[in-house]
Amino acid sequence: MMNIIERLKKIMPKHVQPITTNRDEYFAVVEKISREASQKTVELNRQNRLKYLIGRSGISPLHQDCRFENYQAYTADQRAALHQAIAFAKNFGSGFGGFVFSGSCGTGKNHLAAAIGHCLINKGKSVLCITVADLMMRFRSTYEKHAEWSEEGLLRELCNVDLLVLDEIGIQHRNSDNTQILINQLVDRRTSHKKPIGMLTNLTGEQISGVLGERVLDRMMMDNGIWVNFNWESYRSKVKCHA
């Protein structure tokens, strides 16, 4: 190896230096680079599978510009919500506690959820934000005659995502019980595998318990999961990024 380094020194520009002249350090660096490249490949494959299964991966086009920096926090409660979202993203991976953002339409729930997602994606994590209606449409497609994916296969992929965010929790109470069963399955599997899940809803805690059951809400609060109330009026007309 030393001969290789010496030969490289002769052909390299003077301002370029080898990463190390120590054999063990050299192989440690090579192993680290190889491991990081492998992780990136695995993550890319995961995102591609999501795109194939769901029709897209990551965050919807509507919320592509939502960041912590452009979240408009006018009140103390809004600033508190922003700080909790930032803390969740910063501490992601230290536990599996999820989050519930509860409040009326246009109060910024989707903005902060998307901001969390963008932050995690920049760190190499996989994120999927999806409405319950879109999720159910994908699951119903698994029952078609020539479906390429089974319900179990889709469920497994959704449980492999680093962060899954379900939007419009509560609207499903107007649908069949299948939606509640599916959400229960997702929450059970993800918490069992220590994978966090986020929920966006217009419902209160008591109403969610009535729709999904106390067990789901209890699991959402496991391992320091957070509940954030967006209890202010809509400011959708004031911002460019829709809430």
Among candidate residues 39, 56, 73, the one where a domain is terminated: 56
Q: Are 158 and 185 in contact (CB under 8 A)?
A: no
More confident residue, 177 or 92: 92
Q: Which domain holds residue 8?
A: 1-56
φ/ψ of 21, rounded to 5, equals -110, 5
Q: Which two tokens stand for residue 139?
A: 């699951």
What Rg value do the Cα atoms of the chain yield, rounded?
22
Distance CA 133, CA 66 (A): 22
**Residue 243 located in a structural domain:** no
Residues 48 and 139 in one domain: no
Of the listed ranges 14-23, 164-173, 206-215, 231-240, the one predicted with least confidence: 14-23
Q: Which two tokens stand for residue 193?
A: 């595998």
Residues 142 and 234 in one domain: yes
Residues 20 and 88 in one domain: no
Domain CATH code at residue 225: 3.40.50.300
Residues 124 and 214 in one domain: yes
**Chain-wide mean pLDDT for the chain?**
82
Residues 167 and 69 in one domain: yes
Q: Are 164 and 198 in contact (CB under 8 A)?
A: yes
Confidence of residue 53 (pLDDT cuts 50, 70, 90): very low
Q: Are 87 and 35 in contact (CB under 8 A)?
A: no
Distance CA 95, CA 120 (A): 14
User: Which of 21-30, 48-57, 152-161 has the highest mean predicted lDDT (pLDDT)?
Assistant: 152-161
Residues 92 and 203 in one domain: yes
Residues 181 and 224 in one domain: yes
Among candidate residues 35, 56, 77, the one where a domain is terminated: 56
Distance CA 88, CA 103 (A): 18
Confidence of residue 45 (pLDDT cuts 50, 70, 90): low
End-to-end CA distance of the chain: 58
The H or E element that residue 4 is part of is helix 2-11
Residues 51 and 93 in one domain: no
**Residue 90 located in a structural domain:** yes
Taking only the tens place, the pLDDT of each residue in 70-113 is 999 999 999 999 999 999 999 999 999 999 999 998 999 999 99
Provide the 10 A C-beta neighbour count for residue 146.
4
Residues 46 and 63 in one domain: no
Residues 6 and 51 in one domain: yes
C-alpha distances out from residue 166 to 11, 109, 179, Å: 56, 12, 12
More confident residue, 210 or 16: 210
Whole-number pLDDT of residue 119: 92
**DSSP state for residue 234 in the 8-state scheme:** -
**Can you list the positions of beta strands (E) in the chain?**
99-103, 127-131, 163-169, 197-201, 226-230
Q: Say which amino acid occupies 108.
A: G
| Number of folded domains that form the chain | 2
More confident residue, 55 or 117: 117
Residues 67 and 149 in one domain: yes
User: What torsion, rounded to 10 degrees, do the Cα atoms 217, 205, 203, 237 define?
Assistant: -110
For residue 240, the cross-strand partners are none
Distance CA 170, CA 177 (A): 12
Of the listed ranges 15-19, 94-98, 139-143, the one predicted with least confidence: 15-19
pLDDT > 80? residue 43:
no
Residues 66 and 136 in one domain: yes
More confident residue, 28 or 109: 109
**Residue 3 located in a structural domain:** yes
